[in-house]
């Protein structure tokens, strides 16, 4: 069996899935790495919810401008043809369905596409939501990028989220380090699976029922 | 490479069908996309629902569609015009040949914004207690009567702008801006007729009024019909 | 008795009442003339609901720009320091209470400050409201500029509006060609009256009850 | 002659009292008016309700007020910060010394816009079915659950901008724009700390982001404290 995808391989897999010309918002955390892997010749437009469209990579050291940061508060650049706007228009872009894809990290995804990615529940200290709920409701397609199971080996693809919900029924596709899974009206369908990993072995690490779909080999 | 530019007006309006709901930019003559209006007229599209601030004037604007019987319903704040000449909105309306939904101007633009911003509705004090609130849900908020207004979205937005780049970033010309930046957010297909194409980066990123994400096609004002 | 104020004199009276630095929207029709009479040295900022702040006068013939028109669709100019914005922000300025004063024409005003200025009722042909209702609800102070009675001699300051309402309880002050009348919690109060015109004579042309207030002489 | 410019930070914050509700601009460090924050800190204002996207960091930002016990309540989307150092929001919150109203970021800015635009509330799909909608009225609109959200207005807005003229027209600097143009519409007293004063007309009328009608005072970033 192949080893599970590294984070970099997973970022590369997702980068390949983003079509040319797409407007995309990448959540804070894991999805950060995706832009480094966009295939050559493909033009992707990155949105940042603090009011940037066509965001570019981090500038070289010493050239940071702290008025030009992304939603994770890291310095970025603006690509030619980019624009700045206020938070109101920025969130109108999301909620209004103007973004093609949003790629988010997650703690849990349910078989119906419910998403839990903002809080691990009561007792964790200070709650904070940022733009997580807005993003989850807004883009035309919500993709989740996550490790298939938690650090402690618990399933993250579940029948019902036990963590506080971010939004109900929004996730369209899950990219994990073991599989690519589509959320359909009939439940979860395995589109890609790690070469050499059996469907039963994948099911053993997944709480929600999985149906075999295309079952193509997952490549990083 | 993303390129929103199209070469002529036929391409600019391609795919718009009979029965379409169209957001039409402009306040009076300022901001009306006359080339796009002419193209839709020439295409003979029928049974249109038009959302626009005004009801047409002596110009070859919405009046063209009205005269040709292309419009089924108008959603509008000010359908009257002293400049109406032939087959005006007034004639059609008084003859019962067109439906009118009259909306206060600020409520009209706010309803379009509401649609474009993915919201489900809003409460406004405007219109409360008047004939234009009849049949609408109302609610007292902080001791003041408010009317529940619903979002407006459309199949198409036809707009006029000043500059566009290939990404669809737009600027406008003075008071011709009016409804356009909001209408650009609220339609499945957004088409702008512009005075000038510029290279990406030529518009100051701080001065882009409508970011290209909202725009599908841009066509030069002087392009072939 | 002095003759009733001419339209020009009435415009001059109102122009004097607008404080320095005020942000003002002037309705279409009668209020159009007010800007010509702003006292020298006073800076007034005119708002036009189609998206202009700090609007200037009509340009000389031949210099009209038809992308720079006012709400009445007449060519105007922009004064130094003015700005353009979309209709959404323009109406937010109104409804949000950011304009100091709006001066509107009217068909009728009631003793409680109800305003009827958009329609003379059913049967008039095509209805049209434009920004009338938004303006009436929005500015911090709504002033009405009108002739005291209709062309046919009917009172326009009434107990209850018989014409379709524009908004309820919004008018603060009525400037007519005979008097300046404040709308107070206790009803209508005459602040200024045409020299030589008795309160009783004014009452005879007014359906709503009038209380004497300062009763200063009305000067054009 | 209208002149919004004030000479120092004491004048900039004059009249703000204990118990004030303050809209504080900025997203992370971008757009936080550090001079105004320092002035409010130095003035020792107490019992403040602060509406801001973030809860302060290691910078001399909102953290200053939090450490000095000046804040009674925070309305915020993201109060946590990895950069929190001393007497952070987290400490106060876990000790029960501060009240928190957590609001999704897009709903936060929309509520402020709603207040500034004179509307009574709006329906949004964001937050529906989550813990943040608990206790809020909901409604099905077009088959989708929506939450009723209320407008936010404040006594004061403290903002950072790039350029200002004497009329209060403002431009911003890149992503430091964020909440400021909306916050400028929703407070009784709006104060902007700016990098530069310019003559009226120096800012392109098409590129004014916040028209001066919304602004009460502007102060230079480097003005005397």
Q: What is the 3-state secondary structure (H, E, C) of chain B?
A: CCCCECCCHHHHCCCCCCCCEEEECCECCECCCHHHHHHHHHHCCCCEEEECCECCCCCCCHHHHHHCCCEEEEEECECCCCCCCCCCHHHHHHCCCCEEEECCHHHHHHHHHHHHCCCCEEEECCCCCCHHHCCCCEEEECCEEEEEECCCCEEEEEEEEEEECCCCCEECCHHHCCCHHHHCCCEEEEEEEEEEECCCCCCCCCCCCECHHHCCEEEECCCCC
The domain made up of A7-217 is a member of CATH 3.40.1080.10: yes
Report the residue from C47, C78, C89 with minimal CB separation from D205. Answer: C78
pLDDT digits (tens, 9 = 90+) for A40-64: 999 999 999 999 999 999 999 999 9
| Residue among D104, D57, D107, D63 nearest D81 (CA) | D57
pLDDT of residue A138: 84
Start-to-end C-alpha separation, chain A: 14
Let me know: does A16 contact A219? Beta carbons within 8 Å.
no
Subunits adjacent to chain A (3 or more Cβ pairs under 8 Å): B, D
The verdict on C88 touching B (C-beta cutoff 8 Å) is yes
Angle at the Cα of C153 from the Cα atoms of C148 and C154, rounded to 5 degrees: 80
pLDDT value at position B81? 72
**Set of chain B residues whose Cβ sits within 8 Å of the Cβ of D207:** 204, 206-207
> What digits encode the pLDDT tens for the residues B88-102?
888 899 899 999 999
Neighbours of B134 (CB within 10 A): 8
Chains contacting chain B through 3 or more C-beta pairs under 8 A: A, C, D
Q: Which residue in B104, B122, B161, B186 has the most chain C C-beta atoms within 10 A of its own C-beta, making it the best mutation to test that interface?
A: B104
Location of structure tokens 């901001």: B31
Residues of chain B above pLDDT 90, percent:
89
B12 in Cβ contact with B219 (< 8 Å): yes
Tokens read off for B45:
């599209």
Residue D159, pLDDT score: 98
Q: Choosing from C49, C111, C191, C192, which is the catalytic residue?
A: C49
| Binary contact (B169, A83; C-beta < 8 A) | yes
Q: How far is CA A15 from CA A8, B83, C6, C31, in A?
A: 10, 56, 73, 60
Collect all residues of chain A within an 8 Å Cβ-Cβ radius of residue D116. Answer: none
Q: What is the rounded CA–CA span in Å between residue B110 and residue B125? A: 13
The pLDDT score that the predictor gives to residue C40 is 93
Residues D40/D13, Cβ–Cβ less than 8 Å: yes
What is the H or E stretch that residue C214 is in? strand C210-217
Is pLDDT above 70 for B83?
no
Q: Is C84 in Cβ contact with B77 (below 8 Å)?
A: no
Contact D129 A167 (CB under 8 A): yes
Minimum distance, in Å, between the CA of residue A39 and any CA atom of chain D: 27
User: Taking the C-alpha atoms of D30, D35, D36 and D38 in order, what is their torsion angle to the nearest 10 degrees?
Assistant: 110
Nearest-by-CA chain A residue for D55: A128
Looking at per-residue confidence, does A214 or A124 come out higher? A214
Please determine, for residue D89, whether its predicted confidence score (pLDDT) is greater than 60.
Answer: yes
CA distance B143 to B125: 11
Average pLDDT in chain B = 95
Q: Which residues in chain D have Cβ-Cβ distances shorter than 8 Å to B122?
A: 114, 119-123
Q: How far is D126 from chain B (nearest CA, A)?
A: 9
Q: Parallel, antiparallel, or unpaired: how do β-strands D121-124 and A77-84 relate? A: unpaired
The answer, yes or no, to whether residue D75 has pLDDT greater than 90, is yes
Comparing alpha-carbon positions, the chain B residue that sits nearest to A86 is B206
Contacts of C81 (CB under 8 A, 6+ apart): C54, D165, D166, D167, D169, D200, D201, D212
ipTM for the assembly = 0.97
Among D205, D2, D186, smallest CA distance to C23 is for D2
* Neighbour tally for B77: CB within 10 Å: 25
- Pair C143, C175: CB distance under 8 Å: yes
Q: Residue ranges of the domains in chain D?
A: 9-104+152-220
* Residue D168 pLDDT exceeds 60: yes
- Decide if D136 touches B, using CB distance below 8 A: no
Whether residues D213 and C98 touch (CB distance < 8 A) is answered with yes
- Given a cut of 60, is residue B86 above it in pLDDT? no
* Domain coordinates in residue numbering, chain C: 7-217
Looking at the DSSP bridge assignments, the partners of residue A26 are A103
HSE at residue D5, side-chain half, CA atoms within 13 A, is: 17
For A214, the 3-state DSSP assignment is: strand
**Stretch C115-143: mean pLDDT, rounded?**
89
pLDDT at residue B84 in the model: 53
Residue A50: the pLDDT is: 96
Question: In the predicted model, what is the mean pLDDT of residues A68-96?
Answer: 96
Using an 8 Å Cβ cutoff, are B76 and C129 in contact? no
Compute the nearest-CA separation of C83 from chain B (Å): 8
Q: What is the pLDDT of residues D24-37, one digit of tens each?
A: 999 988 999 999 99
User: Which residues of C fall within a CB distance of 8 Å from D151?
Assistant: none
Q: Which residue of D has its CA nearest to A115?
A: D130
Residue length of chain B: 225
B50 vs A65: CA distance, rounded Å: 46
Q: Which of D110, D112, D123 to mutate to test the interface with B (most CBs of B within 10 A)?
A: D123
Q: Which residues pair with B147 in a beta bridge?
A: B124, B138
Q: CA of A28, closest CA in chain B: separation in Å? A: 21
Could you tell me which chain D residue has the CA closest to the CA of A52? D175
- In this structure, the strands spanning A45-48 and A23-26 are parallel
Alpha carbon of B101 to those of B71, B77, B120: distances in Å? 13, 8, 19
Q: Do D206 and C53 touch (CB under 8 A)?
A: no
Looking at residue C30, what is its pLDDT? 86
Contact between D100 and A91 using a beta-carbon 8 Å cutoff:
no
Sort residue A199 into left (φ over 0), alpha (ψ -120 to 50) or beta.
Answer: alpha
The tokens describing C197, both together, are 């015109």
Among all chains, which residue has been given the structure tokens 């072995």? A201
Instruction: Provide, as residue numbers in chain A, all residues whose Cβ is less than 8 Å from the Cβ of B118.
Output: 92, 94-97, 137-138
pLDDT at A120 over 90: no
B20 in Cβ contact with B183 (< 8 Å): no
Tokens 């490790």: give the residue. Answer: A147
Q: Give A98's contacts (C-beta < 8 A, 6+ positions apart).
A: A23, A92, B185, B213, B214
Mean pLDDT across B159-178: 98
Cβ distance D119 to B110 less than 8 Å, yes or no, reads yes
The nearest alpha carbon in chain D to A121 belongs to D131
What is the rounded CA–CA span in Å between residue B43 and residue C126? 28
Instruction: Give the pLDDT confidence of C44-89 residue by residue, as tens digits.
Output: 999 999 999 999 999 999 999 999 999 999 999 999 999 999 999 9
Neighbours of B64 (CB within 10 A): 18
Using 50, 70 and 90 to split pLDDT, how confident is the model at D82? low
Residues of chain B positioned with their CB less than 8 A from the CB of D196: none
Q: How far away is chain D from the Cα of C191, in angstroms, using its nearest Cα?
A: 29
How many residues in chain A? 220
Joined tokens for residue A8: 């970099």
Phi-psi group of A111: left, alpha or beta (phi > 0 → left; psi -120 to 50 → alpha; rest → beta) = alpha
Q: Do A215 and A199 form a contact (C-beta atoms < 8 A)?
A: yes
Instruction: Convert the pLDDT of each residue in C132-173 to its tens digit.
Output: 999 999 889 999 999 999 999 999 999 999 999 999 999 999
CB pair distance less than 8 Å for A43 and B2: yes
Q: What is the pLDDT of residue D87?
A: 56
CA separation for the pair B168, D187 (Å, rounded): 34
Helix or strand (DSSP H, E) at A215: strand A210-217
- Cβ of C128 within 8 Å of Cβ of B113? The answer is no
What is the per-residue pLDDT for C32? 86
- D1 min Cα distance to partner chain A (Å): 30
- Hey, which residues of A are catalytic here? 49
For chain C, the first-to-last Cα distance in angstroms comes to 14
Nearest to D120 among B141, B172, B205 (CB): B141
Q: Which of D31, D73, D32 is nearest to D177 (CA)?
A: D31
- pLDDT, residue A1, reads 65
- C100 confidence band (pLDDT: 50, 70, 90): very high
CATH number of B9-104+152-220: 3.40.1080.10
Residue of B nearest to A89 (CA): B117
Taking the CA atoms of residue C59, residue C60, residue C61 and residue C65 in that order, the dihedral angle to the nearest 10 degrees is -30
The CA distances from residue A142 to A113, A145, B185, C50, D170, in Å, are 9, 10, 20, 38, 36
* pTM as predicted: 0.97
Longest dimension (CA), chain D: 57
> For residues D153 and B57, which has the higher predicted lDDT (pLDDT)?
D153
* Count of positions (residues) in chain D: 225
Can you give the pLDDT at residue A32? 86
The DSSP-derived string for chain D is ----B-SSHHHHTTT--TT-EEEE--BTTBT--HHHHHHHHHTT--SEEEE-SB---SSSSHHHHHHTT-EEEEEESB---TT--SS-HHHHHHTT-SEEEE--HHHHHHHHHHHHTT--EEEESTTTTSGGGTTS-EEEETTEEEEEE----EEEEEEEEEEE-TT--EE--GGG-TTHHHHTTSEEEEEEEEEEE--TTSS-TTT-SB-GGG--EEEETTS--
């Amino acid at each position: 069996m192949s080893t599970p995808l590294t984070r970099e391989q997973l970022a590369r897999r997702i980068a390949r899935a983003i079509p040319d010309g797409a407007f995309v918002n990448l959540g804070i955390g894991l999805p950060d790495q995706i832009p480094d892997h966009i295939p050559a010749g493909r033009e992707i437009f990155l949105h940042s919810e603090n009011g940037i469209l066509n965001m570019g990579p981090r500038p070289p050291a010493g050239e940071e401008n702290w008025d030009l940061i992304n939603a994770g508060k890291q310095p970025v650049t603006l690509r030619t043809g980019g624009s700045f706007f206020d938070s109101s228009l920025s969130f109108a872009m999301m909620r209004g369905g103007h973004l093609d894809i949003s790629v988010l990290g997650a703690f849990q995804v349910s078989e119906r596409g419910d998403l839990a990615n903002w809080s691990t529940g009561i007792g964790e200290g200070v709650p904070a939501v940022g733009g997580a709920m807005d993003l989850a409701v807004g883009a035309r397609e919500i993709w989740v990028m996550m490790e298939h199971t938690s650090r402690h080996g618990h399933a993250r693809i579940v029948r019902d989220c036990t963590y506080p919900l971010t939004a109900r029924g929004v996730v369209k596709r899950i990219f994990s380090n073991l599989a690519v899974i589509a959320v359909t009206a009939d439940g979860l369908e395995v589109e890609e699976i790690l070469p050499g990993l059996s469907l039963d072995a994948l099911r053993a690490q997944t709480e929600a029922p999985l149906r075999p779909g295309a079952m193509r080999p997952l490549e990083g | 490479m993303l390129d929103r530019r199209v070469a002529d007006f036929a391409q600019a309006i391609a795919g718009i069908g009979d029965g379409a709901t169209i957001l039409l930019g402009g306040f009076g003559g300022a901001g009306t996309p006359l080339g796009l209006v002419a193209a839709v007229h020439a295409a003979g599209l029928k049974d249109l629902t038009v959302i626009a601030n005004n009801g047409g004037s002596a110009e070859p604007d919405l009046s063209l569609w009205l005269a040709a019987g292309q419009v089924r319903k108008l959603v509008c704040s000010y359908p009257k015009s002293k400049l109406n000449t032939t087959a005006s909105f007034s004639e059609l309306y008084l003859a019962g040949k067109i439906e009118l939904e009259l909306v206060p101007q600020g409520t009209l633009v706010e309803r379009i914004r509401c649609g474009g911003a993915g919201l489900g509705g809003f409460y406004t004090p405007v219109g409360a207690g008047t004939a234009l609130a009849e049949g609408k849900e109302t609610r007292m908020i902080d001791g003041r009567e408010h009317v529940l207004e619903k979002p407006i979205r459309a199949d198409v937005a036809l707009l006029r702008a000043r500059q566009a780049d290939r990404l669809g970033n737009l600027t406008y010309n003075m008071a011709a801006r009016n409804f356009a930046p909001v209408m650009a957010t609220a339609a499945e297909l957004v088409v702008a007729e512009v005075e000038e194409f510029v290279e990406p980066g030529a518009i100051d990123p701080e001065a882009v009024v409508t970011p290209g994400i909202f725009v599908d096609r841009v066509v030069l004002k002087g392009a072939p019909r």
